[in-house]
Amino acid sequence: MSDLVRVGFVGCGLIARSHARGLQACGEATIVAVHDTDPERAHSFALDVVGTASVVVADAETVIETSEAVYVCTWTAAHADLVAAVAAAGKPVFCEKPLAIDLATAEAMTRAVESAGVVNQVGLVLRNSPSFRWLRHQVRSPELGPLMNIVFRDDQYLPTQGMYGSTWRGDVAKAGAGTLLEHSIHDLDLLGWMMGPIRSVSGRIGMVHGLDGIDDQASVLLVSESGAQATLTSVWHEVLSRPSQRRVEAFCRDAVLTLDGDWAGPVSIESSMGTDELEGSVLARAMATLDGLGVNPDAAFITAVRSSIPAYPDFRVAIEAHRLADAAYRSAATGGQPVDL
Ligand SMILES: NC(=O)c1ccc[n+]([C@@H]2O[C@H](COP(=O)([O-])OP(=O)(O)OC[C@H]3O[C@@H](n4cnc5c(N)ncnc54)[C@H](O)[C@@H]3O)[C@@H](O)[C@H]2O)c1
């Protein structure tokens, strides 16, 4: 195609590569400028992903000038200034999650993109997961009776090592906090998405690794407007054979649902009608036409940019997850007192 959307990247690490693959798969964008404060990162990203180092530029400002749409894929503390610069230039922005290291900054970023009127999307990519789309569809289905309870477990090895290799995740100034904000903001987003408005949050956190301000375990109790309850357990351990793993059990009045594997299942449903299990391509096909979300968040972003329509999930969606994380940390600071929302 001759009218490919000209995309730039600020931050050229792990997640930037994932988005570059998504853009390549959609075939409607071309990467024209990339910058990283670590020049080696920028060069290896450019060579591996674009095939030429000529797209490496000296600073974020040049990325913004050169591109029609910008991905902000730096560590979390650097998101806010970069998003503000992209919004000030009137250009669409895809920003990674968490938006910011605290709720107030995330809210300011949301105001910035909304008042600039720019297309904005956040990297809460599990909203595109066939597994979670299936689970959400089931727990909201009237045939299964009201949703009663969700048990959500998310564990992985401390991501300062292994394929992440990111020392910044152990630095509170750059990451803001640990497992609950940096990783399980996905889980809080998914729980709010499945359960509807959350009205009460209580939480406890722990720091076994001794990294200042970096929680490596969190237990959160959420109560929704409808009275449904959920518990989230989020852990960063030292078992290097276990990268990110999610297991969810959801109890409706008339069915029990399980999710093992946060993208392609297996997922299962058990009711008095019997038991069914789906995974892989069968699950993907079952979800393909369900809600129009698709499995490629980058394709969705490019479609929104091309058509100047709102992207999804946008910063406003992410604010809800930030509110839950903020409430959980505030509760933990009081020893677990519930915080009403
Ligand atoms: N959506 C997801 O599932 C998902 C998965 C992983 C990471 N993330 C998020 O993506 C972001 C990046 O994570 P990552 O794993 O790619 O980290 P990473 O360490 O692999 O890459 C981050 C890069 O940003 C660069 N950088 C930092 N500040 C910069 C600045 N001001 N200008 C230019 N470059 C800068 C660093 O040098 C580094 O190369 C984080 O916010 C993280 O939480 C999201």
Q: What is the pLDDT of residues 271-319, one digit of tens each?
A: 999 999 999 999 999 998 888 899 999 999 999 999 999 999 999 999 9
Pocket test for ligand 1, best of 63, 86, 96, 185 (most atoms within 8 A of CB): 96
Residue-averaged pLDDT of the chain: 97
228 and 89, same structural domain?
no
Q: Are residues 108 and 168 in the same domain?
A: no
pLDDT, position 291: 87
149 and 289 belong to one structural domain: yes
- Give the per-residue pLDDT at 2: 55
Number of H helices, E strands in the chain: 11, 14
Kindly state whether residues 116 and 148 are assigned to the same domain.
no
Backbone angles phi, psi at 314, to 5 degrees: -100, 180
Asked if the model's pLDDT at residue 148 lies above 90, the reply is: yes
Angle between helical axes of 315-333 and 185-195 (0-180°, round to 10): 110
Query: Are residues 134 and 106 both part of a single domain?
Result: no
Q: Find, among 135, 127, 131, 136, the residue nearest to 300 by Cα.
A: 127
Same domain, 54 and 119: yes
DSSP label of 76: G
What's the CA gap between 253 and 145, in Å, rounded? 5
Query: 9 C-alpha to center of ligand 1: Å?
Result: 11
The answer to whether residues 96 and 132 belong to one domain is no
Whichever domain contains 51, its CATH number is 3.40.50.720
Tell me, using a 6 A CB cutoff, whether residue 77 lines ligand 1. no
Ligand 1 pocket, residue 37 CB under 6 Å = yes
Partners of 198 in the β-ladder: 224
State residue 292's pLDDT score.
86
The CB-side HSE value for 334 (13 A sphere, CA atoms) comes to: 11
For the segment 2-19, the average pLDDT, to the nearest whole number, is 95
Domains of the chain: total: 2
In this structure, the answer to whether residues 200 and 328 fall within a common structural domain is yes
To 10 degrees, the CA torsion angle through 37, 72, 55, 298?
Answer: 150
CB distance 99 to ligand 1 below 6 Å: no
- CB of 192 within 8 A of CB of 324? yes
168 and 284 fall within a common domain: yes
Is this prediction's pTM over 0.75?
Answer: yes
At residue 227, does pLDDT exceed 90?
yes
User: Residues of 91-129 as b/e, b for ≥16 C-beta within 10 angstroms?
Assistant: bbbbbbbbbbbbbebbbebbebbeebebbbbbbbbbbbb
Confidence (pLDDT) at 1: 44
Instruction: Give Cβ neighbours of residue 249 (< 8 Å, ≥ 6 apart).
Output: 150, 151, 256, 257, 258, 259
For ligand 1, whether the C-beta of 38 sits within 6 Å is: yes
The CATH number of whichever domain residue 332 belongs to comes to: 3.30.360.10
Q: Based on the domain organization, do 213 and 281 belong to the same domain?
A: yes
Which residue has the least CA distance to atom 1 on ligand 1? Answer: 123
Count the neighbouring beta carbons within 10 Å of the beta carbon of residue 21: 13
The boundaries of the domain holding residue 23 are: 5-124+298-312
Q: How far does the centroid of ligand 1 lie from the alpha carbon of residue 60, in Å?
A: 14
Same-domain check for residues 160 and 267 = yes
| Rounded Cα distance, 303 and 315, in Å | 17
* % of residues, the chain, pLDDT over 90: 97
Q: How many CB atoms lie within 10 A of CB 194?
A: 22
- Residue nearest atom 28 of ligand 1, based on CA coordinates: 74
Q: What are phi and psi of 189, to 5 degrees?
A: -60, -45
- 120 and 130 co-located in one domain: no
Is the model's pLDDT at 144 over the cut of 90?
yes
Cα-to-centroid distance, 222 and ligand 1 (Å) = 29
